[in-house]
A and B are shown apart, each in its own frame.
Chain A
Amino acid sequence: MEELKIGFYVCNCGTNIAHTVDVEGVKEVAAQWPEVAIARSYRYMCSNPGQEMIVNDIRELGLNRVVVAACSPRMHELTFRNACRLGGLNPYLFEMANIREQCSWVHTDKLVATEKAKALARGAVNRVRHHEPLDPLSAEMCPETLVLGGGIAGLTAALELALAGHPVHLVEKSDRLGGNIARVDLTAPYFYSARDLLADRLTRLRATPNVSVHLHTQLKNLSGFIGNYTATLETGNGDSAPRQKTIHIGNVIVATGYKEFDASRITHYGYGKLPNVITSFEFEQMLRSGRIQTQSGRPPRYVAIIHCVGSRNREFHSYCSRVCCMTALKYARELKSALPECYVSDIYIDMHAFGKGCEDFYRKSSEVKTLFLMYGKNEQPVIRKADAKDDCEMLIEVDEKLSGERIEIPADMVILMVGMEPRPDAGEVAHLVNISHDKDGWFIESHPKLDPVATTTEGIYIAGTCAAPKDIPDTVAQARAAAARILARIAKGKIEIDGVFAEVDPERCSGCRMCNELCPYSAIEFDAQAKRSHVIPAVCKACGCCVAACPSGAIKGRHFTDQQIYAQIEGVLA
C-alpha cells in the first residue's frame, strides 16, 4: 500500500470559527499526527484561494488524503470534493470535520471548544486513512416514460414528452381521460372553459404518435432503478378477467390527482339529508348543463356559498385547498349573470386571493352585490330546514365576525366548497413507486423549494395535486417541469450512479436473505443458484441498514465502512 500523505486544513471562517476556537492550536497539533504531511489554516477555506491551496498541495506535495476542518459537510463537502478532483485526487479521499455548526457556534469557552475541535479533527484524520477511491457507475437510460393519471397534469406531461419524440405510456384508472378538470365548467379568474382546455390537450394528444393510452389500467408493480424500470400494468373493467402487461421504462411521472372532501362528514351542514345542500362539483354540473335550479325545479332566489368545507379545520384537514376561494367567487359571478335577481351570500373564513389576476377577480366579484359574511375557523355555520312561513328552503346561522353578531340568512340552495384530499389509494401508489407522503397523505418532493417535482427516488417525479392542492396553472407548470427533467435525463443518454452503495462479499455471505427483506428499496437480489445475495448498485440508496444487520458481516457500506467509523470513534475519543 502506498504511503499516506494527509493534507490538513483548518478554516477560520472569518471570525465564525476563530472567535471561539484556537485555529492555530488545532493546526499545530494536527501537524504532529502521523502521516499528516501538511497542516495549514486559512481565513476562508471555501474561497477560491482556499480551494487552490488544496489543489496545489495535492499536485506539489503528492497528497493522497485531504481533511478540512470547517463548517458542516452539508454546506461545503461537495466544494472540497471538487477541489480534490481538480487536484487529481479521487473526491472520496476527502473528509470534513464540522467545527463551526457543531462546535464554535454552540460553545463559548474557547479552551473547551478548541479541545472539541481537535477531537473532531482527529476523528476525521483517523477516518480518512481508511477511505477508498470510489467511481460513479454508468447505466443506460430507457427513453420511455410511464405517466400515472390522465388528468390535466398527466395529459400535459405525456404530451410534452411525446412531442419531443419519446414514447409515453399514459395510464388512467377510470374509463376516460380528463380527471377532475372534466367535471369543471369555467375556470377562475379568466373564465376559460375547462372543456376547451381539456379538448386542446386531447386533440393534440390524439394527433401525436408515441403515446399509448391505457384506460381502466393500474400500476401493479414497479422494479428496477432510474433509466431501467420494469412496470406491470393491469387492465380490466370488471367485465372480464384483468390482463397484465409488462413494459420497460426509464422514468415515471406520478400525476394521480386528488379527490374532493366528503361533505357528509360535517353533519351540521346536512349534506345528503337536506336536498338543496350541494357540493361545488355538483354545482359545476348544473353550470355545465345550463340549469341552475333547486330540487323542485325552480331557480333559487337565495344561494349561500360556504367556504373551507373540510379545509383549514383541525378536525378534518388543517391545510388550505387553494382553489376554492376563487371558485366560490366565480360561482357568485356566474349566478349573478344567470339569475340577476338572486341574492348570493358568500360565507368565508379568510379570502385567499393570491396568484395572478386573483385579487382583481376578488374586487370585481365583490362589485356584483354579493353579501360577504366572515365566520371563525371553529364556529362553523349551521344549516337547518326553514319553516313554511319563512319563504325559503333553509336558514343558515352564522356568527359573523366583522359585525360581531349572530346573523340568520335565507337560502334556497347551499353550495359547499369542498376541499381537496389525497386519493384513497395514494398510500398504495406511494408504496409501489417508493416515494413518501406527508402527514396529510400528499406525496413529498425532494426539496420543497429547490427540487419541487423530483422525489427522493431517482427517476420518479410528481406533478399536480397528488403533491398538494394547487390550481390548473401550477399543475401544468409542474407537469411540464417533470417532463423537462426527464427530457434532460434522456438527452444525456446515460445515467451516472453515485459510487456510494453497499456491496456483498460473496465469500462471507451465508445466503440467509435477511438483507433482502430489510432493504427498503428491494436493492438486494438473491441468486438462487449461487445461494448468495448481491446488491444492485443503482437501486441502493446507501442507507446502510443491511450493513448493520448482516449476521455474517458480509456487507460493506462503501464510504461508511465499519473500519472507517471505528477509526473515527477512536479519533474523537483520543
Chain B
Amino acid sequence: MSFEPKIVGFLCNWCSYTGADLAGTSRIPYPANVRIIRVMCSARIDPTFVVQALAQGADAVLICGCHPGDCHYSEGNYKAMRRFPLLKQLLKAYGVEDDRVRQTWVSASEGQRFAEIVTDLTERVRALGPSRIHPELLNDQRER
C-alpha cells in the first residue's frame, strides 16, 4: 500500500475554517489526509501546536488564516506571519523538511483554493515519505 501522510490543519475560524466548509458545501473533493483543528485566529497557533503535531506523528502541518488585511481581529494574521519564519528555522534545525509545514491564507470564499492547497500539500508530502522527526524534538516536547 502506498504511503498516506497524516496532515494536521490549524485553521482560523473566520476565514479559513469557513473556506474549508465552503469546499464541503460546494462538494469540491480533496485528499482525506488532512484533519482540521479550529482556532479562533491564526495568531492563536502556538508554535508548540505544530511541534506537538509533528511529535505525535503528523507528516505535515498546515496553518491557514485570513488573507493579510482581512483578519477578523484586524491584524492577527500579520503576527502569525511574523512568528512563522522563527518556527521554520527551529524545525529546520531538527531536520524537518521545508515542505512539511506550510502557512498560507484562505478566505471564507476560497473553497476551491483550500482544496487545491490540501491536494498540493498531500502530493508533496507523499513524495517526501513519512516524517522522520529528530528524536530530540520528541524529547523536548515531552518535557513540556
Contact = CB atoms under 8 A, between A and B. Distances in A.
Contact of A105 (B25, B41, B48, B73): B25
Contacts of B45: 548
A545 B38 CA distance: 14
B12 to A, nearest CB: 9
A29 interface: no
Contacts of A115: 32
B74 interface: yes
B43 A112 contact: no
B46 A569 contact: no
Contacts of A562: 46, 48
B6 A545 contact: no
Contacts of A44: none
A565 B39 contact: yes
Contacts of B47: 548
A394 interface: no
A76 to B, nearest CB: 12
A394 to B, nearest CB: 42
A112 B6 CA distance: 12
Contacts of B116: none
Q: Is the interface of A mostly helix, strand, loop or mixed?
A: helix
B57 interface: yes
A73 B32 contact: no
A573 B36 contact: no
Contact of A102 (B21, B27, B44, B57): B21
Q: Is the interface of B mostly helix, strand, loop or mixed?
A: mixed
Contacts of A520: 73-76
A230 interface: no
Interface in A541-574: 541-545, 547-549, 557, 560, 562, 565-566, 568-570, 572-573
A247 B83 CA distance: 39
B24 A101 contact: yes
Contacts, number: 120
B76 to A, nearest CB: 5
B79 A106 contact: no
Given A74-B17, A116-B32, A456-B72, A518 B79 contact: yes
Contacts of B69: 439
A119 B33 CA distance: 11
B74 A545 contact: no
Interface residues of B, number: 43
B73 to A, nearest CB: 4
A15 interface: no
B24 A105 contact: yes
Contact of A106 (B6, B23, B38, B46): B23
Interface string B15-58: 00110110111011110100111111101111111001100111
B8 interface: yes
A522 B106 CA distance: 27
Contacts of A560: 39-40, 44
B47 to A, nearest CB: 8
B115 interface: yes
Interface in B49-91: 49, 52-53, 56-58, 69, 72-76, 79, 83
A214 interface: no
A290 to B, nearest CB: 48
B20 A547 contact: no
Contact of B21 (A72, A112, A436, A544): A72
Contacts of A465: none
Contact of B29 (A100, A107, A120, A573): A107
Interface of A: 72-74, 98, 100-103, 105-109, 112-113, 115-116, 119-120, 123, 434, 436, 439, 456, 518, 520-521, 541-545, 547-549, 557, 560, 562, 565-566, 568-570, 572-573
